[in-house]
Structure 1
Amino acid sequence: MNQTRTLEEMPLGKFHFQMFFYTGGGAFIDGYVIGIIAVALSILQPDFDMSLTVMGLVGMATLIGMFFGGIIGGYLTDIIGRKKMFILDLVVFVIASVLQYFANDATELIILRFILGVAVGADYPIAGTFMAEFSPKKNRGALLGGLVALWYVGYGVSYLVGYLMLALGDDSWRWMLASSAVPALIILLARLKMPESPLWLASKGREKEANAIIQRIFGENVVLSEKLDSTEKTSFMDMFKNGYGKWTVFIALFWTLQISPSFAIATYIPEVLGQFGFADGNKEYLGSAIMSLFYIAGLLPAIYLVEKVGRRPVLVWPFLISAIILTVLGITSNLHMSFAFTITLFVLYGMFNTGMSIHQWIYPNELFPTKIRGTAMGFCTGVSRIGSSISTFLFPMILSKYGLDVTLYICAALFFIGFLVSAVMAPETRNMSLAETSALNKASNNSGSSKNKEMIL
């Protein structure tokens, strides 16, 4: 007689990798959209004769859209289901991507970029909850962190695509922006095969359906969980009640402090490299592509270490190291250092920065129960995008008025604040079930639970 096992006790298998592809497609698309606009901006600026303010609005429109998409999409994900929202958001994305080709002025482009942001923002809470709710507990951190890797793959690919499309001439920016429809359509068709989340079904009192899905995928001796989540009705404000408020504040803070400088630098990296003195022969675009591809290398040790040494150290120390590297870049920005030296520093910054970014998907999906997991993930996504949209809007203005060195010092300061916040607030959730991680707020005062009190730096 085979022993009954729970969904979280199953070994990593083919189905988990399929789910990783289905959910990670949204992260790939997000990275692609953010990256391709950085290349396209410098090409389309003469076409639309955009001021720095308008350029800032184009750059931040997607991020503002993600605020609304994350908050609304996350809540609807907990209300109507993961799969329905997963399909709808990509339909919207494909349509808006194609329409970018036909934009006649900056206003139309800003509107379309905003719509794209709504769709991408909605995808974050759906993808994260899906992956978390199907993952084995021993591999959950690596799988969730791996979704971030696909963000950087999309970001790096966008720069290569944009670099190659420069040869298309004055209208190359139209093809660049419309090209995001291609990966979106592929992922949309793949997602039609996905099942609904068993944990979400169980949270709505549909335990029989939940176990039927699990047993169809994994076999008759696999069940949902030893302890099912509450079937209480989802409320938007629940993420601020019953001790969950501190996690909402922590996640929103560290996420915002991590991506605000990151997105601003990423959006305008060709201009930044140009101010370092590398504006001849499209070197700034080639450098951007090289940096983006190397950034992915920082994720590999982070994905490994997050399961071996824990969540906390993989978040805390990269914040500090990123701050130090950007400070050095600020100091050397006017010293006419070599292309290799500057790119090496940016690569090191990017590797540590991308390494810690895996927590954007891990902590929100581990620290909240099923009934508000999507809502909390969406809210924190939205708040982080407000911060990143403001920084993306202000970045070219600060760069123009105060210079590259001051701009980099400000970015370094944000990373240092993130280091302090994480050192004080980050919990340890390694090798815990979702029931255990989502109960950390209740167990934090229990002196008998040494696991929940682990504070490794």
Structure 2
Amino acid sequence: MSDDHKTDLQEKPTSLVPRQQDDSESLRSEMYTQAKREGVKPAFLAKVHLINEAIAETGMGRYQWELFFTSGFGWMADNLWLQSIAIVMPAVANEFKPYPYVRLSTLALYAGMIVGATFWGMSCDVIGRRLAFNSTLFLSAIFGIAVGASPDYVTFNVLIALLGFAAGGNLPVDGTMFLEFIPGSKQYLLTFLSVWWAIGQAVGSLISWGFLANYGCQTPAAGTFCSKESNMGWRYTYYTLGAFILFLWVVRFFVFPVHESPKFLASIGRDDEAVEVIHKVAKRNGITINLTADDLRRAAAPYLSKEETAAIADADQSTKMTTLELIKHSFSQWSFVHITALFSTPRLAYSSSLIIFCYAALGLGYPLFNGFLGGYLATKNASLGVMDLDATYAAYTYQAACGIPGSLAAALLVNWSRGGRKFAMAFFTVVSGVVLFGLTQSKTTIQVNALISIASFFQNAFYGCLYGYAPEVFPAPHRGTGDALVSAASRITGIFAPVIAVYSPAANSPEAPVFAAASIFVVTGLVMLLLPIETYGKTAI
């Protein structure tokens, strides 16, 4: 405001009404500016401010902690299935003899995950979070059990792809659901949700170790193969993992059922239901709040056009839609608006592009190392004179266990005001790469196991930071789509890991994929520092 304008104001008689009008115009201007910067409509932003205040008032109570556990089931399932395919591949190869193409089973899993991440992530912006949240875990359990009954290698890969389709929605949907119910001051817990990812790795390793070590067939002589009866370990593994995930789905669906996200409901104009959900959450937490649907409508009214106001009035006269009617209506509105909104401003376009790059790069680097860790350990141990199969599975378990405290370290560091989310991500990612460079120079079994465990600590930490940061950046109306895009980018590049492992000139070198993964981690960590948005201290929209 210029000095001349300030003088003009001082010369006029003070009046409450003009001051209120001036404040109102200032608020409207700020709301339009923020809405443009965030890529959302100002009317929705006005409602979100009230919803965030109400959620903060409900606190981090019983409902939120229940959701922390049930959302964690999905994160656990994601890494559990990734870990299991890496461990059982040698046993599958011994029975079906698809050498050297058994590694392409990982490609089938990733192909399914690409489609699944895209479908489930985008659909939760169209038909809601709840349906996808309740479907992905159940379907992955069913297909996981079916994998164990595969009669041949082709069927095995088809079922693995279907399993990937179901499991692909776990990370983008479950993280979105959890974020939209927690107070802004507790958003660092989205990073800590990655502890379930590490637990999934540990559970997958332990169950696989137990069955493969006791019911597995040793690598047969050339020209022969293991019979089904002598090689049931990998089948028992999938039966058990599938049954375990099915049990978790029962707990999620029947014991701790979830409500639809109030931010999603508000984004499609269902204000009454959004407020109803918030009151149910508050009741679950043992408190009472005063938010009403009229509060949301009054907050949004100054930013609505006449056409939008009339449409809302018409909608208020209709009865509440059934789930089937909602699905039909939602898919009739399907368009690319959720994608284009993520690139609607230069700042958003730059941010979204860099996040997609980071996901894509790590999506290649992570499976280059972890997806073929079994083969690396077998080759490395053999070169060191260790031929014990248990040594390989023990290393898997050490690695998985060390990932759990990595999640705690990530949750602590992202909440450090001097560093914030971006520094935490970059730090853990770069150090993870440095540790893998050290692994390529390891000379003893102790060094190998120690460096793999340390690498797991930092890898789980940087994944926790990244998977917590991205949903915070994406605005609620387009959050599922944003999570879908980055998850799909991660799976797409992940497809190239088995292709590189099979067809690259360095395919027979156990150190090559480790060195490549290390290089990717270091470069990506440095790129993270260029991200334009710091989410520390900000409540997600």
Number of the residue aligned with 1:30 = 78
Q: Give the Cα separation in 2 of the matches to 1:222 and 1:98.
A: 47
- Correspondences of 1:326-345 after superposition (within 5 Å): 326-332=436-442, 337-345=443-451
Task: Give distance in 2, aligned partners of 1:301 and 1:388.
Answer: 26
Q: Does 1:422 align with 2:528?
A: yes
Counterpart code for 1:80: I
SS of equivalent to 1:134: coil
- 1:295 is aligned to 403
1:220 equivalent in alignment to 2:288? yes
Are 1:154 and 2:200 matched, yes or no? yes
**2:93 maps to which residue?**
45
Other-structure match for 2:393 = 285
Which 10-residue stretch deviates more, 215-224 or 251-260? Answer: 215-224
Cα separation, 1, equivalents of 2:532 and 2:368: 25
3-state SS in 1 of match to 2:183: coil
Q: Structure 1 pair 247/187, CA: closer, same or farther in 2 (3 Å)?
A: farther
Once residues 235 and 47 of structure 1 are traced to their aligned partners in structure 2, the CA distance between those partners, rounded to angstroms, is 46
Aligned mates of 2:408, 2:206 — CA distance in 1: 21
- 1:133 and 1:222 mapped to 2: Cα distance? 19
Q: SS in structure 2 opposite 1:196? A: coil
**Which residue in the other structure is 2:144 paired with?**
97
Alignment partner, residue 237 of structure 2: 176
Structure 1 residues 399 and 33 mapped into 2: Cα distance closer, same or farther (>3 Å)?
farther
Residue pair 1:5, 1:221 contacting (<8 A) in 2 also: no
CA shift, 1:402, in A, is: 5.3
Alignment TM-score, normalising by the size of structure 1: 0.87
- Is 1:16 equivalent to 2:119 in the alignment? no
AA aligned to 2:434 is I
Counterpart of 1:401 in 2: which secondary structure?
Answer: coil
Opposite residue 190 of structure 1, the aligned amino acid is V
2:345 to 236, 242, 245: 242
Query: What SS does structure 1 have at the residue aligned with 2:388?
Result: coil
Cα separation, 2, equivalents of 1:401 and 1:158: 26
Larger displacement relative to structure 2 (159-168 or 56-65):
56-65
Q: Deviations over 1:376-397 (max 9, x none)?
A: 1011101111111211332354
Alignment of 1:397-412 (within 5 A): 397-398=503-504, 401=507, 403-412=509-518
Describe how 1:98-247 pairs up with structure 2 within 5 A. 98-141=145-188, 143-166=189-212, 167-169=214-216, 170-192=231-253, 193-218=257-282, 219-221=287-289, 223=291, 235-243=338-346, 244-247=348-351
Q: How far apart, in 2, do the equivalents of 1:426 and 1:156 lie?
A: 35
Q: What is the Cα deviation at residue 67 of structure 1? A: 0.9
Deviation of residue 160 (structure 1)? 0.5
The secondary structure found in structure 2 opposite 1:6 is helix
Q: Is contact 2:114–2:168 with CA below 8 Å preserved after alignment? A: yes
Residue 256 and residue 293 in structure 1: after superposition, are their counterparts in 2 closer, same or farther (change >3 A)? same
Specify the code of the residue in structure 1 equivalent to 2:495. Answer: S
Structure 1's unaligned 5+ residue stretches are: 436-457
Identity of aligned residues (%): 22
Distance 2:83 2:342 in 1: 32
Q: Deviations over 1:24-51 (max 9, x none)?
A: 1111111110111122111111111012
Q: How many residues align?
A: 426
1:341 to 1:137, Cα distance in 2 relative to 1, 3 A:
same
Query: Partners in 2 of 1:32 and 1:388 — Cα distance?
Result: 16
In structure 1, the residue matched to 2:48 is none
Distance verdict in 2 for CA 1:156–1:398, change over 3 Å: farther
Answer yes or no: is 1:272 the counterpart of 2:384. no
CA contact (8 A) 2:402 2:453 kept: yes
Question: Amino acid of the residue matched to residue 343 of structure 2?
Answer: F
Compute the RMSD of aligned alpha carbons.
2.4
Q: Extract unaligned runs of 5+ from structure 2.
A: 1-51, 217-230, 309-332
Paired residue secondary structure (1:80): coil
Tell me the distance in 2 between the aligned counterparts of 1:58 and 1:222.
54
Distance 1:329 1:65 in 2: 31
Which residue does the alignment assign to 2:15? none
1:75-110 superposed Cα distances (whole Å, 9 cap, x missing partner): 111111111112222332222112112212221111
Structure with bigger gyration radius: 2
- TM-score using structure 2 length: 0.74
- Matching residue of 2:488: 382
Distance 1:102 1:384 in 2: 29
| Mapped partners of 1:66, 1:221: distance in 2 | 40
Q: Secondary structure at the match of 1:71?
A: helix
Q: Amino acid of the residue matched to residue 180 of structure 1?
A: L
Task: Give distance in 2, aligned partners of 1:20 and 1:408.
Answer: 33
1:59·1:393 contact (CA, 8 Å) conserved in 2? no
Query: Is this contact kept in 2: 1:240–1:248, CA < 8 A?
Result: yes
Letter in 1 for 2:204: S
CA–CA distance in 1 between the matches of 2:344 and 2:53? 33
Q: Name the CA shift for 1:27/1:204 in 2 (closer, same or farther; >3 Å).
A: same
Partner of residue 350 from structure 1, selected from 456, 459, 463: 456
Separation (CA, whole Å) in 2 of partners of 1:128 and 1:228: 27
CA deviation vs aligned residue, 1:46-82 (integer Å, no higher than 9, x gap): 1110122x22220222112111111111111111111
Secondary structure, aligned partner of 2:381 = coil
* Mapped contact 2:410–2:465 kept (Cα < 8 A): no
Distance 1:325 1:228 in 2: 51
Q: Is the 8 A contact 1:139 1:307 kept in 2?
A: no
**2:202 and 2:397 in contact (8 A); partners too:** yes
Shift of 1:9: 4.7
Separation of aligned partners in 1, 2:487 and 2:412: 24
SS of structure 2 residue aligned to 1:210: helix
Specify the code of the residue in structure 1 equivalent to 2:395: G
Is 1:55 the equivalent of 2:158?
A: no
How far is 1:350 from its partner? 1.5
Distance in 2 (alpha carbons) for counterparts of 1:404 and 1:78: 42
C-alpha separation between the residues in 2 aligned to 1:154 and 1:274?
Answer: 23
**Which range is displaced more, 338-347 or 127-136?**
338-347
In the alignment, is the contact (CA less than 8 A) between 1:32 and 1:155 conserved in 2? yes
**Cross-structure match for 1:438:** none
**Deviations, residues 270-301 of structure 1 (Å, cap 9, x unaligned):** 21112222552211111111111112221211
- Counterpart Cα distance in 1 of 2:273 and 2:247: 28
